[in-house]
Amino acid sequence: MGSLFDLKGKSAIVTGSSRGIGKAIAHRLAEHGARVVVSSRKLDACNAAVAEINAAVGRDAAIAIPANIASKGDLQRLVDDTQSAFGQIDILVCNAASNPAFGPMSALSDDAFTKILQNNIISNHWLIQMVAPQMRARRDGAVIIISSIGGLHASDMIGAYNISKAADMQLARNLSLEFGPDNIRVNTIAPGLVQTDFARALWENPEILKHSTAHSCLKRIGQPDEIAGMAVFLASSAGTFTTGQTFVIDGGAMCV
């Protein structure tokens, strides 16, 4: 059964992978044999994550290539440098995202809304466009977009973020249809509340945390590593007949 999840010979880009869910995914992909690019805006944070991952897996599996997802030029350099280092890109994980606003949409500024849509949807579209041609030429590849259960329900506090995450689910569905004939799988993972710095405003508030965990089956917050296994599944041979789907990993919050 181990061969189902074997990623030896595969190479991956994981955006937003210097911490949180992205770093957990990069670590587990490397653990299963992949070569991985750790990418976020700051080189020192990327280098720290690379050192941690390589020490954990016992080999030089990860390298750092910083990039700002809001910059199309940075994303193209990320793709070009990865191809120079690894020869090809087999797995793309679009994890990096922004949420600069916490409150009702009636008070949301144009700049904040634009930033959310740019970083959470348009940048994913750009990066996938850059990576897909060489995947299509080889007729093999896996694209994974980290969405959120926020894309499945309404919110009066993170509404714009939820809109962007719903759009990511539709982006995956559209691209799975478009890329399917070339054997490229495109899926999204929709985590619930996970204890990351990104979601700190939600879990650091005791009342919000109590409300969020009370209305779930497992009655607790998730951890970044509990999301990573699904990414390994989708990137590996185990997931080769899986595309166009959104996988909810939320401790049972959405089923209550």
Question: pLDDT tens across 52-94, in order?
Answer: 999 999 999 999 999 999 999 999 999 999 999 999 999 999 9
Q: Is pLDDT at 198 greater than 80 in this prediction? A: no
- pTM equals 0.95
Delimit the domains of the chain by residue range: 2-192+225-255
DSSP category for residue 237: G
Which band of pLDDT confidence, cut at 50, 70 and 90, is reported for residue 215? confident
Residues 148 and 159: beta-carbon distance below 8 Å: no
List alpha helices for 139-223, DSSP H.
159-179, 200-203, 206-214
What pLDDT score was predicted for residue 203?
A: 65
The string of pLDDT tens digits covering residues 86-121 is: 999 999 999 999 999 889 999 999 999 999 999 999
Tokens describing residue 239: 């997931």
Tokens of 5: 């999840």
Q: What is the mean pLDDT of residues 45-51?
A: 98
- The C-alpha atoms of residue 21 and residue 64 are separated, in whole angstroms, by 17
Task: Return the top range by mean pLDDT from 182-186, 190-194, 217-221, 249-253.
Answer: 182-186
Local structure of residue 204 (DSSP, 8 states): S
Residue 144's H or E segment, with its range, is strand 141-146
Specify the CATH architecture of the domain 2-192+225-255: 3-Layer(aba) Sandwich (3.40)
Count the helix, strand and coil residues of the chain and give each as a percent rounded to the nearest 5.
55, 15, 30
pLDDT at 108: 96
pLDDT of residue 232: 98
Closest by Cα among 13, 202, 228 to 126: 13
Tell me, what's the pLDDT at 211?
75
The mean per-residue pLDDT over the stretch 143-166 comes to 96
pLDDT for res 256:
83
Binned at pLDDT 50, 70 and 90, residue 209 comes out as: confident
Residues with a catalytic annotation lie at 161
Residue range 28-42: mean pLDDT, rounded = 98
**What's residue 1's pLDDT?**
46
Decide if pLDDT at 207 tops 70: yes
As a whole number of angstroms, the distance between CA 110 and CA 167 comes to: 18
